[in-house]
Amino acid sequence: MASYRFFEEYDQPVTDKLKQDFSNILTGVGEDITREGIVKTPERAAKAIQFLTSGHCQDPEEILRSAMFEEGYNDMVIIKDIELYSLCEHHMLPFFGKAHIAYIPDGRIVGLSKIPRVVDVFARRLQVQERLTHDILECINNTLKPKGVAVVIEASHMCMMMRGVQKQNSVTTTSGFRGQFEKIETRNEFLKLISSDLA
């Protein structure tokens, strides 16, 4: 017997309502919802959209507070290349890419896994990249109260790639800086480190 099991739990009334909504959408675009490949799609889509927007029900500040430790380290801490997947609030199409985050502790550090979890919480909401960058930045700054925080996000947007201007290779970069990262020399050190491959 396996010693570990992962399962997802869904609110059944919400799932049933969304399932009907997705059935109506599929019918509206001309699909046969009794077709073998489609018959379970409304339920799968209902569960998928709940998962992809589950960040609305989570408290990112509590995630950080659950693993904060007193520590005298006061140099830059960088977590780079954090994969992120979100839904654009304008078309509900995905945008995806990487976040690079740094902070300079002021007597407290946070468990490293909590930073990517904060990214996931904010990404699993209907978003725009600009707000996503700001949300992550302010959450870390307000909760951890470090000497400085930096966030850079690089992402590709399916609303630009699949429809609209249909540009396949464009990447959108957003950034935010607080505290010591507002100083050009600290910011440049961070930008240099996230763009280099340290061997």
Single out the catalytic residue among 61, 91, 154, 189.
91
**158 φ/ψ angles, rounded to the nearest 5 degrees:** -65, -25
Task: Tell me how far the alpha carbon of residue 182 is from its chain's centroid.
Answer: 24
Residue 98's DSSP bridge partners are 83, 154
d(CA 8, CA 124): 15
Single out the catalytic residue among 88, 100, 139, 180.
88
Active site residue 139: no
Active site residue 20: no
Active site residue 12: no
Single out the catalytic residue among 129, 134, 180, 185.
129
Active site residue 90: yes
Cβ-contact 147, 154 below 8 angstroms: no
**56 φ/ψ angles, rounded to the nearest 5 degrees:** -65, -25
Single out the catalytic residue among 62, 89, 130, 182.
89
Question: In which residue are the tokens 């059935």 written?
Answer: 23
Active site residue 134: no
Cβ-contact 125, 86 below 8 angstroms: yes
With b meaning 16 or more CB within 10 Å and e meaning fewer, what string describes 89-102? eeeeebbebbbbbb
The DSSP secondary-structure symbol of 122 reads H
Amino acid at 128: V
Active site residue 129: yes
- Catalytic positions are 88-91, 129, 157, 159
